[in-house]
Chains A and B, each alone.
Chain A
Amino acid sequence: MDDASESSHAEITPATSHSTPGTAKHADHAHGHHDAHAHHEPGFWGKYVFSTDHKTIGLQYLITSLLFLLFGFFMVLMMRWSIAYPGQPLTVANVFHKVTEAPSKFVHRIGENVKATFGYAHDFKEKEGAPPKPEEGTLAEFLFSKKNMPGGVMQPSFYNQLGAMHGTIMVFLAIVPLGFAAFGNFAVPLQIGAGDMCFPRLNMASYHLFLWGGLLMLFSFWIPGNGGFGPDGVTPAAIAVEGGAAQSGWTSYPPLSVLSNPPLNPDSILSCLMTGQSIWLVAMVLLITSSLLGSVNFIATIVQLRAPGMTWMRMPFFVWAQLVTAFLLLLAFPPLEAAGIMQLMDRVAHTSFFMPDGLVWENVPITATYSGGGSPLLYQHLFWFLGHPEVYVLILPTIGAVTEIIACNSRKPIWGQNTMVVGVWVLGFLSFIVWAHHMYLTGMGTKVAAFFQTTTIIISIPSVLILTAMLITLWGASIRFTVPMLFATAFIPLFGIGGLTGIPLAFSAPVLYLHDTYYVIGHFHYVVAPGVITGAFGAIYHWYPKATGRKMSDFLGHVHFWPTILLMNCVFMPMFLQGMSGMHRRGFDGGASYSDLLGGILYWHQFITVSAFLLLLAQIPFIFNFFYSIWFGEKVSTNPWHATTVEWDTPSPPPHGNFTKPIQVYRGAYEYSVPGHPTDYFPQTEPGYDPADKFKGKH
């Protein structure tokens, strides 16, 4: 240790050794660290790819997860086509034809319904020509190979791959990283007045694990099969291997998931690994590890790096929601990791964790390969032990963001903020003891079912508390209907529909009827798609000015909002109807083979599919707006929404280190319209009295 460094110790130590290092840290900044370290400016790779800055990582997460969201959406559009028009080739011309002729067909359908209602002769049969025949050289065939879409017609196995991948991508690669990682990374350190996340390099590692896990999962679509032939290409193989991605749904229930996607050579570990389902499992282990690192980082950041004065109850609700989410990820994900490892062992080492005694597969007993003695139910328990907290992992960050937007745009403090904080903790806790309500039909005993029905109903109480607090906040407010506020207010009823339709599914008796029907699909999509994605759009519009220094176009925002909300309902509302009529959720042909039984509701498939394609069109304004506004959006000040929370007290975009001055927090997060204050917002960082103290009588 040389003299120079010691003398620098001597200079710096007194200034930084007292108990408010937050201030000292920023004082350091003020002393020109930026100038001193200008030569440390990282290059392209350091700045955009291997960045340790939480804002950059947040934006990386945002872009990546939005891309995955788009991929997942494309996948489901292809699936929807197969459901509504089974056996018909997927071409641009056909899609255009179906979308354009749809209005007249629906008018016809409604007319026939009216006739039928009043007892007149009616005919639901479509007056149409022969359905289009498979075509040579369609785009779909080119993109997805002849094996998967010969002549543009989707094969059932490819539908299964898309189904599994749609679920996995949407849950683990789109919504969780969007709500938790993207918004959390960007906003949490800013909102608590921290310079960065607690472990920046861990943060970077977390993003890269997520990215490579996601790419690995996508890569599994390209796994080759043998086409039913041996290595010479002539002799028939013992096992026909389709190749391609996992086909067992996003839940990957064994024994199907252990036996599906068979390897080319069951004796080779490498061959067993290079199958869709095994790759799915490996990718899931990567994603879970990424989430674990992320959640450790979030909790540590929130506990350790709050700015001076940022007491627990002064934290914005978004930060609370992130904290609970992080705990859910931390404690609920590892059991799935254990289950994933065990299933990987089942697939690669041919163990029997999840393989029961006496299993017969395609008319062949498999006792020679598998010792048996395992339990498929064990997997289901471990999966749903994650699975249900996972639902709250999807929802809570968005609920937090929506709360921010609602408080800011209704210019009122959040009604019952403490209640919401307690509610969100209770929600998090209870979500650990409701998991088996996904498994009523596994034949569980009445005692077990009674326990899980009770906890499931109890968990609706904190959810309703939170929604009610949001609604009451709107009460009597002079609401500013900015674009983020439009999405936030739309979130409340849409999420409400998703929640309320879940109540029948909490009881084992209705589940006997509704299990695995489109009703369930409608229910959880209302929670996640119109609910969470709507809220997430709101959050993007809300924090976009902070991230870029420019606002997204209001006009395009409206053009995005109205069709999106309308079409989301058009897509998901008919699913309740179909589900209650008994429509099963997994058929690749949308139940066409049951058309005698389900004829009356099958035509809703076409309505949903056309709406889904239009929903894609409705996202174009958003995509355009997102990129256009980076360069050409309206320039905004530091605090364009006149919000109170700390992130609005720094330049947009915030510099490296986030703040240009020491942050000291003086009051709660939502001091809007405080009487006596010259503006209708009273920022957390502005010196002055704390209105809450006045009521506590301890100023």
Chain B
Amino acid sequence: MASHSSDTKHAAAAASNDPHAPDPHELEHLEHHIKTYIGVFVALLVLTAITVGVAYLPFSATGHIVVALLIATIKAGLVALYFMHLVSEKKTVIQIIIASMVCAFFLFGLTWLAWYNPITWGKDPYKSAGFEHPIHH
């Protein structure tokens, strides 16, 4: 086990006690994972810089929203997949995430209702429902 040379006092004590020694197989994976973590870290910083840079480019409002949310989603995906180990997580966790995502999807449905609820302010309800406004005619 490569890590033994750098073990601290506690770890050495633990290593002498068989149950607490790290699994060599797992350790090997871990060394590989740590490289991934650092790669993800760099990617996150770069994406953050990009999202700020893009904000100053002359896109339309919709374009800005799409680009910013796309980058945020990619970043969130990286954090979730690698830092939160979703890449190798068991299906129980995936099921929980799917359940919460489905419910969150419906929760965001209430923003859709804001457009369709005629007594909601903001966007002209008659226009958004495809009618001409009665007051203007």
A and B, direct touch (CB closer than 8 Å): yes
B17 touches A1 (CB 8 A): yes
B107's partner among A13, A377, A385 (CB-CB below 8 A) is: A385
- CB proximity of A14 to chain B, nearest CB, Å: 11
Closest chain-B Cβ to A300's Cβ sits at a distance in Å of 10
Q: Out of A1, A357, A381, A445, which one reaches B118, CB within 8 Å?
A: A445
Closest to A299 in B: B96
In the complex, what residues of B have CB within 8 A of residue A443's CB? 117-119
Task: Decide yes or no whether A40 CB sits under 8 A from chain B.
Answer: no
In the complex, the answer to whether A381 meets B110 with C-beta atoms within 8 Å is yes
Closest to A372 in B: B121
Instruction: Give A119 Cβ to nearest chain B Cβ, in Å.
Output: 49
Cβ of B62 under 8 Å from chain A: no
In the bound assembly, the distance between CA atoms of A382 and B17 in angstroms comes to 54
Which residues of chain A from 369 to 397 have a CB within 8 Å of any chain B CB? Answer: 375, 377-378, 381-382, 385
> A357-B121, A443-B119 given as contacts; is B113 within 8 A of A331 (CB)?
no
Q: Which of B34-42, B71-79, B98-106 is the contact stretch?
A: B98-106
Would you call A442 an interface residue if the criterion is a C-beta within 8 Å of the partner chain's C-beta atoms? Answer: yes
Partner of B110, one of A13, A332, A356, A382: A382
B121 contact from A13, A356, A448, Cβ within 8 A: A356
Instruction: State the CA gap A633–B19 with chains docked (Å).
Output: 51
Q: Report the minimal beta-carbon distance from A518 to chain B, rounded to whole angstroms.
A: 26
Known A381-B110, A385-B107; contact A442-B119, beta-carbon cutoff 8 A: yes
Interface membership of A433, Cβ < 8 A: yes
Q: B5 on the interface (CB 8 Å rule)?
A: no
Report how far A432 CA is from B106 CA in the complex, Å. 7
Q: Is the interface of A mostly helix, strand, loop or mixed?
A: helix
- Is the beta-carbon distance between B110 and A444 smaller than 8 angstroms? no
Closest to A384 in B: B110
CB within 8 Å for A447 and B119 given contacts A1-B17, A6-B17: no
Is the pair B117, A444 in contact by a Cβ cutoff of 8 Å? yes
- The distance from the CB of A355 to the nearest CB of chain B, in whole angstroms, is 12
Q: B120 and A377: CB pair below 8 A?
A: yes
Whether B117 contacts A331 by the Cβ 8 Å rule is no
Any A CB within 8 A of the CB of B129 = yes
Report A493 CB to chain B, min CB distance, Å.
33
Docked CA distance A382–B13 (Å): 54
Q: Is the CB of A448 within 8 A of B117?
A: yes
A445 touches B110 (CB 8 A): no
Q: State whether A1 and B13 are in contact (beta carbons under 8 Å apart), knowing that A303-B92, A375-B121, A377-B120 are contacts in the complex.
A: yes
**Any chain A CB within 8 A of the CB of B116?**
yes
Is A427 on the interface with B (CB-CB < 8 A)? no
B117 and A385 contacting across the interface, CB-CB below 8 Å: no
Q: How many chain B residues touch A (Cβ–Cβ < 8 Å)? A: 22
Residue A9 lies at the interface, judged by CB distance under 8 Å to chain B: yes
Please indicate the chain B residues that have their CB under 8 angstroms from the CB of A13 in the complex: 19
* B83 CB → nearest A CB, Å: 22
Interface residues of A in 439-482 (CB under 8 A from B): 442-445, 447-448
Interface residue? A327 (CB, 8 A): yes
- In the complex formed, the residue of B with least CB distance to A6 is B17
Residue contact A335 to B119, C-beta cutoff 8 Å: no
> How many angstroms from the CA of A432 to the CA of B117 in the assembled complex?
19
Enumerate chain B residues within 8 angstroms of A448, measured Cβ to Cβ. 113, 116-117
A420 at the interface (CB under 8 A from B): no
Docked-complex contact B113 and A375, CB < 8 angstroms: no
Give the A-B pair count, Cβ closer than 8 A. 57
In the complex, are the beta carbons of A432 and B118 less than 8 A apart?
Answer: no
A445 x B117 contact (CB < 8 A): yes
Which secondary structure characterizes the binding site on chain B? helix
Docked Cα-Cα span, A544 to B99, in Å, equals 36
Q: In the complex, are the beta carbons of A381 and B113 less than 8 A apart?
A: yes
A211 within 8 A of B: no
Q: How far, in Å, is A194 (CB) from chain B's closest CB? A: 17
How far is the CB of A378 from the nearest CB of chain B, in Å? 8
| Residues B116 and A331 in contact, CB atoms below 8 Å apart | no
Are B113 and A444 interface neighbours, CB within 8 A? yes
Q: How far is the CA of A377 from the CA of B121 in the complex (A)?
A: 11
Q: Does A436 contact B (CB under 8 A)?
A: yes
CB contacts (< 8 Å) of B114 on chain A: these are 375, 377-378
A327: B residues at CB distance < 8 A: 99
A6-35 to B contact mask, C-beta < 8 Å, 1/0: 100100010000000000000000000000
Nearest chain A residue, comparing its CB with the CB of B116: A445
Which B residues are in CB contact (< 8 Å) with A357? 121
- For the complex formed, measure the closest distance between the CB of B126 and the CB atoms of chain A, giving whole angstroms: 10
User: Do A445 and B13 contact each other (CB < 8 Å), given the known contacts A331-B103, A381-B110, A432-B106?
Assistant: no
Known contacts A1-B13, A13-B19, A381-B113; A445/B125 CB under 8 A: yes
Residues of B within 8 A of A385 (CB): 106-107, 110
Partner of A375, one of B99, B109, B120, B125: B120
A9 touches B117 (CB 8 A): no
Q: How far is the CA of A211 from the CA of B115 in the complex (A)?
A: 41
A9 and B103 form a contact (CB under 8 A): no
Contact among B13, B100, B109, B125 with A331 in the assembled complex (CB-CB below 8 Å)? B100
Contacts of A377 in B (CB 8 A): 113-114, 117, 119-120
Q: How far is the CB of A393 from chain B (nearest CB, A)?
A: 14
A375 to B111, CA, bound (A): 12
Least CB separation from B20: chain A residue: A1
| CB-contacts of A550-593 with B (<8 A) | none
A356 to chain B, nearest CB (A): 7
Question: With A and B bound together, what is the CA distance between A647 and B114 in angstroms?
Answer: 50
A436 to B120, CA, bound (A): 15
Q: How far is the CA of A382 from the CA of B119 in the complex (A)?
A: 17
In angstroms, how far is the closest chain A Cβ from the Cβ of B21? 13
A433: which B residues are within 8 A, CB to CB? 106, 109
B121 touching A445 by the CB < 8 A rule? Answer: no
Whether A331 and B99, one on each chain, are in contact in the complex, defined by CB atoms closer than 8 angstroms, is yes
If A331-B99, A377-B120, A445-B129 touch, whether A9 touches B110 (CB-CB below 8 Å) is no
CB neighbours (8 Å) of B99 from chain A are 327, 331
Q: What is the distance, in angstroms, from B75's C-beta to the closest C-beta of chain A?
A: 23
20 further A-B contacts with Cβ under 8 Å, apart from A9-B17, A443-B119, A448-B113, are A1-B17, A13-B19, A303-B92, A331-B100, A332-B103, A356-B121, A377-B117, A381-B113, A382-B110, A385-B110, A433-B106, A433-B109, A442-B117, A442-B119, A443-B117, A444-B113, A445-B116, A445-B129, A447-B116, A448-B117
Which 7 A-B pairs give the minimum distances between C-beta atoms?
A443-B119, A381-B110, A331-B103, A445-B116, A444-B117, A448-B116, A432-B106
Q: A residues touching B (Cβ–Cβ < 8 Å)?
A: 1, 6, 9, 13, 303, 327, 331-332, 335, 356-357, 375, 377-378, 381-382, 385, 429, 432-433, 436, 442-445, 447-448
Question: Residues of B at under 8 Å CB distance from A?
Answer: 13, 17, 19, 92, 99-100, 102-103, 106-107, 109-110, 113-114, 116-121, 125, 129
A–B pairs, 12, beta carbons within 8 Å: A331-B100, A332-B103, A377-B119, A378-B114, A385-B107, A385-B110, A443-B119, A444-B113, A445-B116, A445-B117, A445-B125, A448-B116
